[in-house]
Amino acid sequence: MSDKTSLLWQAVALGRRLFRFGAVGVVATASYYLMMRLFMNLMAIPLAQAHVAATILSLLVSYIGHHSVTFEAEGQHPYYFRRFCITSAILFCLSSAFLWVATTGLMISRETAAGMVALGYPVASFALHWMWSFRAPSAVGDAR
């Protein structure tokens, strides 16, 4: 197989993975929205508590989807889930810090800053999950 053919197949594989990543993201987002509606409207749970519960449930949906569909990892849930949670927490902190700096320090409008996060977050999320969260443990004892 030539180098060009190999690169083409790698690009196709990356495109498929990006598509699966987006599909899982849509399902996780929809689960958040539906859980919020259920908790607030049918169960009369206050907004803040509904948000926390829906966020946790949508993160579980996201983890399960990315583990099995996007990155096709096998088993080792304690290893992958711990990394997924660390990555999600880092992304949350970074996006929160960015919003604060952008709106208070750089005087960027809230709408523009939120749009920047909405565009940048999925890119950063894909890169971090691909390169770290769902990277298979090495034989050197990475699975601790």
Confidence of residue 127 (pLDDT cuts 50, 70, 90): very high
Amino acid 22: pLDDT: 96
Domain ranges of the chain: 1-72, 75-144
Give the C-alpha separation, 71 to 6, whole Å.
20
In contact, 28 and 66? CB cutoff 8 Å:
no
Separation between Cα atoms, residue 18 and residue 120, nearest integer Å: 14
pLDDT band at 140 (very low <50, low <70, confident <90, very high): very low
H or E element in which residue 18 lies = helix 3-37
Whether residue 20 is predicted with pLDDT greater than 60 in this model: the reply is yes
Give residue-wise pLDDT tens across range 33-48. 999 999 999 999 998 8
pLDDT reading at 142 higher than 90: no
Average pLDDT value for the chain: 91
pLDDT over threshold 60, residue 143: no
Q: Is 39 exposed, middle or buried (0-12, 13-18, 19+ CB in 10 A)?
A: buried
pLDDT band at 139 (very low <50, low <70, confident <90, very high): very low
Dihedral sign from CA coordinates of 2, 73, 27, 48: negative
Report pTM: 0.83
Contacts by 63-66, CB closer than 8 A, 24 or more apart? 65/23, 65/24, 65/27, 65/28, 66/21, 66/24, 66/129, 66/133, 66/134
| Over residues 6-10, mean pLDDT | 89
Q: What pLDDT, on a 0 to 100 scale, did the predictor assign at position 6?
A: 87
| Average pLDDT for 89-93 | 94
